[in-house]
Amino acid sequence: MKWSNAFIPTLKETPSDAEVVSHKLMLRAGLIRKLISGVYSYLPLGLKVIEKVKYIIRREMNSLGAQEVLLPALQPAKLWKDSGRYEEIGKVMINFIDRRNKQMILGPTHEEVITDLVKKDIKSYRQLPVVLYQIQTKFRDEPRPRFGVLRSCEFIMKDAYSFDKNTIGLNQNYSKMYDAYCAIFDRCGLKFVIVEADPGIMGGDMSCEFMVLADSGEDSILHCSKCGYGISQIAEAKSKHNCPKCKEGKFSLRQAIEIGHIFKLGIKYSKPLAATFLNEKGGITPVVMGCYGIGVNRIVAAAIEQNHDKDGIIWPLSISPYQAIILLVDVSQGPSREYANLLYDRLDGVRIDVLLDDRDERAGVKFKDADLIGIPLQLIISEKNLKSGQVEIKLRKTGEIIRVKKEDVIKKVKELLI
């Protein structure tokens, strides 16, 4: 993409309604814009990051044998009355009457719908286990949306559901998901901790939360700096001083952002919604469920919370909107522009996703914007460099500048992108 005809509106100053760093930078770097409180539009750069995160999630889900589906956001309220959660969830659920006078809701989560789906087609233990997932927009009328996309009323979630014939099967799927979640967050470049949590209204026997330590986090957790063991603050008293697991590390209260949560649901939904199958002995048994969620928008915000400096975002390579940005610091129509275009085409030819800053702006503006939007590699092209047959490659993360000969640029870029 060439910046001169792209929609990447960066801001020099932070809009006054942003408080936390990820929100400020997402606005300034032109990733998002607010429509109303708790509802955001994703601009091209923001959407690209979302898509990168989705790609990583899909790869990991598919490789553990989960299959992708897409469930409706529009749902009948009756389904929720049947499961017993209608009253429980209350005002958070967006509720309305359709033209046939039928009470409808916009899905805040999908246990009910998926259970209903599966029960109609799964009749025998021979059809189990099944693991399904989707990446979809959830709607929650939050009492207090805040911190940009960290708590919003409309957000993208990956939710997966496992269906097993017994607890042994559930435990296996839960454990596979646990591993996949670690892989996903690792690949997204996040440092995270896993805490035992309170399943809350979701129900079930146990749950684990995947948390990114960040001052702006809304959740408090107790975390052992030595062995990494953690528990969510709600689940246990905060009186403990030493880690209950390794007995050595200090147990300290930390703020964190919840980016994933996995639950062993058991028969909490399958029983009331009558999702049953015939077991080996011909008995009618409810399916044993697990459910596994990831906040896709939150991964983006959390990645920024963990990877930024005073100049802007520092994207982990795996989720960066572009892999490299070419900075044409001379504005003239001369050889440097020709070379920048040539390099752009060549990188494009070897499938490197590159942004060419060919705007009629001064060098300073381009440097500032490049730092702000945080693309890992900055390829700096100028008359000065070209005279000595060179291109500068600046690493956003360290600020290190590598000078390479023109003919070696592609090779070096490939090398740096590994």
Partner RNA sequence: CGGGGCGUGGCGCAGCUUGGCUAGCGCGCUUGAAUGGGGUUCAAGAGGUCGCUGGUUCAAAUCCAGUCGCCCCGACCA
Which residues here bind RNA, judged by CB under 7 A?
A: 10-17, 19-20, 34, 36-38, 89, 92-93, 108-109, 138, 140, 142-147, 151, 199-202, 218-219, 311, 329-332, 360-365, 367-369, 371-372, 380, 382, 384-385, 392, 394
Q: Are 48 and 323 in contact (CB under 8 A)?
A: no
Query: Is the N-terminal amide bond of 108 cis, ω within 30° of 0?
Result: no
Question: Who's near 224: CB < 8 A, 6+ residues apart?
Answer: 230, 243, 245, 246, 249, 250, 251
Q: Which is nearer to RNA, 128 or 325 (CB)?
A: 325
Q: Which is nearer to RNA, 28 or 187 (CB)?
A: 28
The least distance separating RNA from the CB of residue 201, rounded to whole angstroms, comes to 3
Q: Which is nearer to RNA, 243 or 326 (CB)?
A: 326
The least distance separating RNA from the CB of residue 358, rounded to whole angstroms, comes to 11
The least distance separating RNA from the CB of residue 334, rounded to whole angstroms, comes to 11
Distance separating the N- and C-terminal Cα atoms of the chain:
22
The least distance separating RNA from the CB of residue 242, rounded to whole angstroms, comes to 26
Q: Which helix (H) or strand (E) holds 164?
A: strand 154-164
Q: Which is nearer to RNA, 99 or 310 (CB)?
A: 310
By C-alpha distance, which of 180, 183, 214 is closest to 302? 214
The least distance separating RNA from the CB of residue 140, rounded to whole angstroms, comes to 3
The least distance separating RNA from the CB of residue 381, rounded to whole angstroms, comes to 7
Q: Which is nearer to RNA, 12 or 351 (CB)?
A: 12
Produce one character per residue of 173-182: b if its CB has 16 or more CB atoms within 10 Å, e if not: bbebbbebbe
Q: Count how many Cα atoms sit within 13 Å of the Cα of residue 107 in the half-sphere of its side chain.
A: 21
Q: Which is nearer to RNA, 21 or 56 (CB)?
A: 21
Alpha carbons 238 and 233: distance in angstroms, whole number: 7
